[in-house]
Every structure is written in structure tokens, then in C-alpha cells.
Amino acid sequence: MNWFPVKLASRYIFSGKNAIEVNVISWIAFLALGFVTTCLIVILSVFSGLEDINVQFYSNINPDIKVEPSQGKSFKISPETLQKIQETQGVKTICPVVEERAFAEFLGKKHIVTVKGIDERFNSIFGLDSMVLYGQPLDFKEPDYINIGTNVSTRLSLFPDTENAVKLLVPKPGEGLITNPDEAFNHVEAYATGIFRINDKYSDFIFMNLPLAQKLLDYAPNQYSALEITTDGSNQSIQNALKKELGDKFQVLTRKELNAAFMKMINTENLVIYLIFILILCIASFNLAGSVAILILNKRNQSETLRCLGLSQKNLKKSFFYTGLLISLYALGFGLILGTILLLLQKYYGLVYISDFLAFPVKLTWENYFISIFSVLFIGSVVSYFVSRKV
């Protein structure tokens, strides 16, 4: 490789022999690209941190694998089949659950809720008792006790109360005209002993003992809405094994598939933010184009001298191309160093807070650094190439 154009470019950058306006514009280009790079790596890292928090936020009570019926809302399953699922390599725990929308009524106030029947296994795995804000966790020895979400509590003006019962109703399955409204619904009465807070998705949930939910929905003892399964982490192979075992009558979904819409939204947000910063980076690169163009004009006489001394037109163009590329490279290094310092300060000292108690999360990943490096160098190279063609 001919290193002369690179050496020439390195002498052109911020040279004391350049006109003052050339150095000023070069510094402006350097600082503009540097600060945009800083913003890019910071924003990407913040969004990675927010993504991690949101994934944990929405996944802290989601199973690794969920088995649902392909058709209908419930299914019956034999103890032998449950045992086969339990014996599948990688499966840790199986939690049968019953889940359905219901109508809740308490002292004249009404609200649509989602009831979820669970047993002690669900509580021990997902730690529901640790999410109770007021009152007592769900007591599985008391069949008619329930825990309610924060929005249910607000809508019904319901606080832990073992004297006044909550009435829960669901429509009876079947067809035909309703002649007696009182006979159109299954209903149970239960007592709220605790209020839990998980996330917005679960604010309208009511957790109850599994037999009470089965009674409300008129289910058999071996009839469930889903099986929620925890694994050792090898979800894909377990999913394939369960699909083979259970057949087409069941859907076997991983946690990723359960949160597919949410993850798509997060990825779309990341893409939009990245494209916005690429646009800003393109605008900032006009400073780089101006810097190289003015340098070409400033070095016109020197370029003629170099041609007379035998420097080819191709190498002369390369020298100005490398000048723009080196400015981009120096700006990239400055931006990444400054951005990393800010991210580390935010991570360990919390410079900026979302709320009074929660600092903006950040996550430093090689992927974000690669995206930043590639974006800056690519745009810098393209701009430098086209401007250097004017020599």
C-alpha cells in the first residue's frame, strides 16, 4: 500500500500552516461529528437499558413455556400426560392455571377483571407474595381468598376486607335465548386479602385459588386454561419435544413468542431512534464536506507543485479522501470516549433520573459500539469520497 497519501492527509489536518478559517471549519466538523457520535452511543445504550428493564418488567411473571389449547379456551389433561411433560428433559415445574375475563361487583361498584386461578407452585416460582403492596399474600389453605390488582382496588374502592365479599360472575357457556338473567351467569363470592402490583398488564387481574376459579368457570378438576412451565433455559429444544408429545391440539409458546408484540414495538422504537440519529449524522457531515472542500481550495497551489514532482492525480485525490476519513476517525474516537465516560457515570452514579428513585438505565454492549463505529465511518467515507473527486 502507498502510505504517502495517508501521511499527506495527516499533515493537512489542523496544520499550523493552514489558513485560520480552514482550521476553524475542521474543528467545527470534528466537534459536530464527535458530539453526534456521543449522542448516538448514549441513546443506543439508554434504549438497551430500557429494553432490559421492560423485558424483565413484563417477563417477571411470565413462564418460560406456555401450553394452550389450539381451539377453545380450556382443555382436559390426564395425570399421565402431565407426568410425561414433567419428565421431559429440561422441564423444571408445571403450573396448571385457569384464566378468564369476569365481571366483579363490590358494594354496588362494578368492573371487568381477569381472574387467574393458581396453586402454590405458581406462587413459589414467580414470587407473587413478594408483589403484595397491602394486606396479606394469597392463602392457599383458604379456598375463597383472593388477591387483587391495583386498578381493581381503585375501581371497586376495595381494600383488604374479609367481611364484605366480592361477587365474581362469568357467562355460562351455551346457546339460545336467556330467559332468566340470574341463571345466565356462574358466580362465586370471595374475600380480598391483599393488593398486588406487578405491571400495568396485571393491574386488572385477580389471583385466586385454582379450585375456586374452576368452580367459577364450571371446569372439571383436570380442566385448565393453560400449563405454565419453567425450564432450565433450553426453551427451543423443550418446545420441540412438547409439540411432538402433545400434538396439534395444543400450542406450545416460548416466552419470546408470548411477548412478540411487545418485542416488535421495542425493536421498532430502536430502529426509529437510530434512523433519526443517522439523519442528524448526515446533516453534521456537511461540516466535514465543507472542511475538505475548503482544504482543497487552500492547497490548490501545493497540489500543483506535488503534481509537478510526480504525484499522480489518483494519489492526490486519495490524500484529501484520507483527510476527511481521519477527521471522521478522530471525531469517532472523541465521541466514543466522551460517551463511554457519560454512560459509566450514569451507570454507577445516576446523573439523570426517570423519577425520584429510578435513574435512567444504561447498558453498554459491543453491538451498540459496532453500530456507532460503522455509521460514522460509513457516512464519513462516503462524504469524503465524493468531495475528494473534485480535485
Chain mean position to CA 331: 30
Residue carrying C-alpha cell 460517551: 339
d(CA 298, CA 323): 14
d(CA 99, CA 40): 43
What are the cell numbers at 44?
443506543
Q: Percentage of the chain with pLDDT > 70?
A: 85
SS3 labels along 202-228 = HCCEEEEEHHHHHHHCCCCCCEECEEE
- DSSP secondary structure letter of residue 157: T
For the chain, give the mean pLDDT.
Answer: 84
Instruction: Return the C-alpha torsion angle 294, 296, 299, 300, nearest 10.
Output: -120
Instruction: Look at 233 and 303; give whichever has higher pLDDT.
Output: 233
Residue from 257, 223, 225, 230 nearest 88 by CA: 230
pLDDT value at residue 313: 62
Classify 335 as helix, strand or coil: helix
Residues 72-116 have pLDDT tens digits of 899 999 989 999 999 888 899 999 999 999 999 998 899 999 999
In order of 8, 28, 213, the CA distances from 284 in angstroms are: 25, 9, 61
pLDDT value at residue 378: 94
Helix 313-349 with 300-308: angle, nearest 10 deg: 130
Inform me whether the pLDDT recorded for 176 exceeds 60: no
| 5 in Cβ contact with 318 (< 8 Å) | yes
Residues 371, 364, 34, 3, CA torsion sign? negative
Inform me whether the pLDDT recorded for 287 exceeds 70: yes
pTM of the model: 0.70
Q: Highest mean pLDDT range out of 172-181, 285-294, 301-310?
A: 285-294
In order of 109, 282, 332, 372, 383, the CA distances from 377 in angstroms are: 62, 11, 8, 9, 10
Amino acid 336 reads L
Please compute the mean of the pLDDT values over residues 297-310 and round it to a whole number. Answer: 63
Inform me whether the pLDDT recorded for 274 exceeds 60: yes
Instruction: Look at 390 and 349; give whichever has higher pLDDT.
Output: 349
pLDDT value at residue 126: 82
Classify 180 as helix, strand or coil: coil
Inform me whether the pLDDT recorded for 4 exceeds 60: no
Comparing 123-132, 186-195, 273-282, the range with the smallest average pLDDT is 123-132
pLDDT value at residue 103: 94
pLDDT value at residue 182: 64
Please compute the mean of the pLDDT values over residues 186-192 and round it to a whole number. Answer: 93
The pLDDT confidence band at residue 305, using thresholds 50, 70 and 90, is low
pLDDT value at residue 306: 59
| 327 in Cβ contact with 13 (< 8 Å) | yes
Q: Percentage of the chain with pLDDT > 90?
A: 39
pLDDT value at residue 300: 66
In order of 26, 67, 99, 152, 246, the CA distances from 249 in angstroms are: 67, 10, 19, 34, 7
Residue 194 pairs in a beta bridge with 135, 147
Instruction: Look at 234 and 98; give whichever has higher pLDDT.
Output: 98
Inform me whether the pLDDT recorded for 377 exceeds 70: yes
d(CA 331, CA 357): 35
